[in-house]
């Protein structure tokens, strides 16, 4: 339906018509050109009157308004669980029948509704899949996806085909999703508990250290197996003696936890197989085995705190550092004769060198071995000796006096990121004791915090970093940092701020710089079998500028010697490679490139671990599906009756199409046939005048 409107009052149209008539009358009533053809005056006059009237009307900005009506069908979302557990209890024929019936349901619903189909498991994907290869089930993510995409549309209903088992994401019953449409669940799987013994869970640390012993805890469960005897077996894949623990199942609903002690006798990622022997009559043994991967580090970072004498700072620092399992911290005194500097990765010198302990031999060893050092200056420090030992900070003091100082964070510090909590809290910490004198920072240094004396913020460094004797070094120009730790606990009931400050300082100073010109990195060493492997690589020229002109390749080899070859993509100034998914196991890789006449290689290793969540729980949870359907006003339906869902939706009568009306407005002046009419009138008038001799 369409109508014409004007930007001016409608009676202006009469003026336009009168204007056209007046123009035609004046033009042709006074003319004697066609006195022999009186009828021609009328024809030409009418043509001119219509032309002028139309032109005048176009000045009124006439518009055509059209009312458009569109009917949209309700949307029905079909969601199919594509995880492994769905078909664990189905025969091939039952699986085939379900797939056929589900597709027929989609076609039947498509006659009256707009059907959108999805598959879900580890992720939500558009389209219907029946591969049942997903390693996890995440029902709440499927609900969230439907809410995000259809909450503002005419969503009629959601049909969810699943067994009710979820092992990722939140409980769908308590998910925050608020769908304004009923959910109809198709209850798949078998709710009858079968005779089954399984590895329920394994608790273990992700890393261990070479030469250490570490423990794992194994939860073993059994259903309907009362009176059966089995054994728990723990074995290292690729060698090593197996540990066996007998288990006597004394009730149908059985559960026990076993602690197993293992040896970290080889560096790298170690793979352990944990299994429980199958019992007579057990339906499936898929969940009887579980593999775990432990990253065995070849060594901790050995850190030495060398002190002039006993002091509360020493224990405060050591206890905080030892919370990081990568650190092995040892306290020794300057009088010790067993200080072997090369055996340590990082050294903290507390009030050393001092007047009573110049430690010349140790300072020489630190310089020769280029060990990173953190100096903590105190009242016992020999300042002239300290000034000659390093070039980061010079302290000129004429007396043994001290100042109570607080920390003022430097605004231009950029060696690493300072946490906002630390930045706000540290200036409020208790004062600590610094030498009284003049402080002068050396070249190429970076100040983390300056001294605040009373209310005066000075430019005297309190915590400073730089390079001394070819190694990273730092100075804390005050003692009694134990007060900071104590104050942190009094204020926050924990030591987080103090430990954050100490951890960042130690991490920066002790981090070994990688001087290799070709480097390859992975986000981690252990991946799940459904995670894609993304390799990043960097290549530097002689000036250590990032380049990627030459090609780079990667070779990945598994435990059996099978090799996979790849070529890196060039991304920006670096390299990137998506190696996709690989099978479970341990792998080694070698990356190669050729730059500046030199063959460059980089070696590394990683492991792929299996995801066995779907095998741990195989009994369908139809009670959850019932609760979910009731919550959203739908119902739970057996697979054999799924064809009736369409009729159930119709009988409810609340799923109806929506009629959308919209108005389309366009200016008449943009209509081409109006222009053609005006040109036609002009041509018609010109032709008659020409033909009858007016021109």
Q: What is the 3-state secondary structure (H, E, C) of 391-445?
A: CCEEEECCCCCEEEEEEEECCCCCCCCCCHHHHHHHHHCCCEEEECCEEEECCCC
pLDDT at 433: 93
Note the pLDDT tens digit of each residue in 430-445.
999 999 999 999 988 9
Q: Closest by alpha carbon to 57, among 15, 3, 26, 23?
A: 15
Q: Average pLDDT in the 596-610 region? A: 87
Pairing of strands 289-297, 268-276: antiparallel
CA atoms of 162 and 173, how far apart (whole Å) = 14
pLDDT of 193 above 80:
no
pLDDT at 575: 95
pLDDT at 452: 93
CA atoms of 220 and 202, how far apart (whole Å) = 9
Q: Closest by alpha carbon to 144, among 109, 112, 168, 115?
A: 168
Q: Which CATH number fits domain 301-510: 3.40.50.880, 3.30.465.10, 3.40.50.410, 3.40.50.300?
A: 3.40.50.880
Where are the CATH 3.40.50.410 domain residues in the chain? Answer: 74-192+619-652
CA atoms of 120 and 133, how far apart (whole Å) = 11
* SS3 of residue 104 by DSSP: helix
CA atoms of 335 and 308, how far apart (whole Å) = 8
Q: Average pLDDT in the 608-635 region? A: 81
Note the pLDDT tens digit of each residue in 277-323.
988 888 777 778 888 888 887 767 889 999 999 999 999 999 999 88
pLDDT at 663: 77
Q: Average pLDDT in the 248-257 region? A: 89
Contact predicate 360/539, CB 8 Å: no
pLDDT at 647: 86
pLDDT at 395: 93
Contact predicate 687/43, CB 8 Å: no
Instruction: Answer with the residue of higher pLDDT: 528 or 404.
Output: 404
Distance of CA 266 to CAs 207, 240, 274, 609, Å? 12, 11, 19, 18
Task: Return the C-alpha torsion angle 353, 358, 364, 370, nearest 10.
Answer: -10
Contact predicate 228/197, CB 8 Å: yes
Q: Average pLDDT in the 242-258 region? A: 90
CA atoms of 635 and 158, how far apart (whole Å) = 11
Contact predicate 679/50, CB 8 Å: no
Residue 256's H or E segment, with its range, is strand 253-263
* Phi, psi torsion values for 538, nearest 5 degrees: -130, 140
Where are the CATH 3.40.50.880 domain residues in the chain? Answer: 301-510
CA atoms of 665 and 386, how far apart (whole Å) = 85
Cα angle: 440, vertex 442, 448; to 5 degrees: 80
Instruction: Answer with the residue of higher pLDDT: 480 or 37.
Output: 480
Would you place residue 133 in the very low, low, confident or very high pLDDT band (cuts 50, 70, 90)?
confident
- CATH number for region 196-297: 2.60.40.150
Beta strands in 237-384 (DSSP E): 243-248, 253-263, 268-276, 289-297, 301-307, 327-333, 346-350, 373-376
Tally DSSP H helices, then E strands, for the chain: 14, 38
* SS3 of residue 126 by DSSP: strand
Instruction: Answer with the residue of higher pLDDT: 326 or 386.
Output: 386
Where are the CATH 2.60.40.150 domain residues in the chain? Answer: 196-297
Task: Count the Cβ atoms, other than its own, within 10 Å of residue 316.
Answer: 20
Q: Closest by alpha carbon to 392, among 461, 481, 480?
A: 461
Among 1-10, 172-181, 560-569, name the most confident range: 560-569
Q: What is the mean pLDDT of the chain?
A: 85
CA atoms of 489 and 190, how far apart (whole Å) = 54
* SS3 of residue 359 by DSSP: coil
pLDDT at 501: 92
Would you place residue 612 in the very low, low, confident or very high pLDDT band (cuts 50, 70, 90)?
low
pLDDT of 695 above 60:
no
- CATH number for region 518-609: 2.60.40.1930
CA atoms of 214 and 204, how far apart (whole Å) = 9
Q: Which residues pair with 435 in a beta bridge?
A: 402
**Which residues, other chains included, contact 568 with Cβ-Cβ below 8 Å and sequence gap of 6+?**
535, 537, 551, 552, 553, 554, 575, 576, 577, 591
Task: Count the Cβ atoms, other than its own, within 10 Å of residue 287.
Answer: 22
Q: Average pLDDT in the 511-534 region? A: 82
Distance of CA 695 to CAs 34, 48, 69, 154, 339, Å? 12, 17, 53, 68, 120
pLDDT of 46 above 90:
no
Note the pLDDT tens digit of each residue in 233-245.
999 887 777 889 9
Instruction: Answer with the residue of higher pLDDT: 507 or 566.
Output: 566
Which ranges constitute the DSSP H helices of 590-671? 613-616, 622-631, 645-652
Report which DSSP code applies to 83.
B
pLDDT at 2: 67
Note the pLDDT tens digit of each residue in 338-380.
889 998 999 999 999 998 999 999 999 999 988 999 999 999 9
- For the record, the structure tokens of 36 come out as 């022999």
Residue 105's H or E segment, with its range, is helix 92-109
* Phi, psi torsion values for 142, nearest 5 degrees: -65, -45
Q: Average pLDDT in the 463-480 region? A: 90
pLDDT at 31: 65
> What CATH topology corresponds to 74-192+619-652?
Rossmann fold (3.40.50)
CA atoms of 346 and 638, how far apart (whole Å) = 67
- For the record, the structure tokens of 672 come out as 């081409």
Where are the CATH 2.60.40.1930 domain residues in the chain? Answer: 518-609
Contact predicate 234/217, CB 8 Å: no
């Amino acid at each position: 339906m369409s109508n014409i409107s004007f930007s001016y009052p409608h009676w202006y149209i009469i003026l336009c018509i009168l204007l056209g008539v007046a123009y035609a009358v004046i033009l042709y009533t006074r003319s004697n050109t066609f006195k022999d053809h009186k009828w021609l005056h009328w024809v030409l006059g009418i043509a001119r009157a219509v032309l002028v009237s139309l032109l005048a009307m176009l000045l009124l900005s006439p518009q055509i308004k059209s009312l458009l009506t569109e009917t949209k069908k309700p949307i029905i979302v079909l969601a199919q669980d594509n995880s492994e557990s769905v078909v664990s209890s189905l025969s091939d024929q039952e699986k085939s029948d379900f797939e056929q019936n589900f597709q027929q349901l989609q076609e039947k619903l498509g006659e009256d509704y707009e059907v959108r189909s999805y598959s879900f498991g580890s992720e939500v994907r558009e389209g219907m899949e029946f591969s049942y290869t997903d390693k996890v089930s995440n029902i709440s993510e499927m609900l969230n996806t439907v809410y995000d995409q259809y909450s503002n549309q005419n969503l009629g209903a959601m049909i969810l085909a699943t067994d009710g088992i979820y092992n990722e994401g939140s409980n769908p019953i308590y998910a925050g999703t608020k769908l304004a449409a009923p959910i109809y669940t198709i209850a798949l799987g078998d709710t009858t508990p079968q005779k089954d013994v399984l590895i329920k869970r394994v608790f273990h640390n992700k890393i261990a250290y070479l030469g250490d012993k570490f423990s794992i805890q194994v939860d073993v469960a059994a259903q309907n197996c009362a009176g059966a005897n089995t054994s728990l077996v723990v074995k290292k894949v690729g060698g090593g003696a197996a540990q066996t623990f007998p288990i006597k199942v004394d009730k149908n609903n059985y559960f026990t936890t076993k602690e197993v002690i293992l040896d970290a006798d080889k560096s790298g990622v170690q793979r352990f197989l944990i299994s429980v022997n199958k019992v007579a009559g057990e339906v499936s043994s898929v969940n009887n085995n579980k593999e775990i991967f432990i990253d065995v580090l070849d060594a901790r970072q050995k850190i030495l705190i060398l002190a002039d004498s006993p002091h509360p700072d020493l224990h405060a620092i050591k206890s905080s550092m030892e919370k990081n399992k990568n650190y092995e911290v040892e306290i020794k005194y300057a009088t010790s004769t067993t200080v072997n500097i090369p055996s340590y990765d990082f050294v903290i010198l507390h009030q050393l060198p001092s007047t009573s302990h110049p430690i010349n031999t140790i300072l020489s060893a630190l310089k020769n071995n280029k060990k990173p050092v953190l100096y903590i200056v105190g009242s016992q420090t020999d300042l002239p000796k300290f000034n000659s030992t390093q070039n980061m900070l010079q302290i000129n003091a004429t007396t043994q006096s001290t100042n109570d100082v607080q920390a003022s964070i430097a605004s231009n510090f950029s060696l690493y990121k300072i946490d906002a909590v630390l930045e706000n809290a540290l200036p409020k910490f208790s004062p600590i004791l610094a030498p009284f004198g003049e402080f002068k920072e050396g070249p190429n240094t970076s100040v983390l915090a300056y001294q605040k004396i009373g209310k005066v913020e000075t430019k005297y460094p309190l915590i400073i970093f730089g390079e001394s004797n070819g190694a990273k070094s730092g100075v804390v120009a005050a003692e009694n940092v134990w007060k900071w730790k104590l104050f942190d606990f009094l204020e926050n009931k924990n030591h987080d701020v103090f430990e954050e400050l100490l951890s960042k300082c130690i991490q920066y100073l002790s981090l070994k710089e990688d001087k290799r010109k070709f480097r390859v990195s992975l986000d981690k060493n252990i991946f799940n079998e459904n995670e894609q492997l993304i390799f990043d690589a960097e290549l530097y020229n002689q000036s250590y500028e990032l380049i990627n002109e030459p090609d780079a390749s990667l070779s990945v080899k598994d435990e059996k010697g099978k090799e996979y070859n790849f070529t890196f993509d060039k991304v920006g100034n670096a390299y990137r490679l998506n190696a996709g998914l690989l099978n479970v196991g341990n792998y080694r890789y070698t990356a190669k490139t050729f730059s500046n006449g030199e063959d460059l290689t980089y070696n590394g290793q990683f492991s792929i671990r299996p995801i066995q969540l779907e095998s741990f729980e195989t009994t369908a949870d139809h009670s959850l599906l019932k609760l979910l359907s009731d919550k959203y006003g739908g119902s739970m339906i057996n697979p054999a009756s799924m064809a009736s869902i369409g009729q159930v939706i119709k009988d409810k009568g609340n799923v109806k199409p929506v009629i959308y009306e919209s108005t389309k407005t366009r200016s008449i002046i943009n209509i081409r046939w109006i222009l053609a009419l005006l040109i036609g009138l002009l041509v018609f008038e010109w032709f008659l005048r020409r033909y009858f001799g007016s021109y």
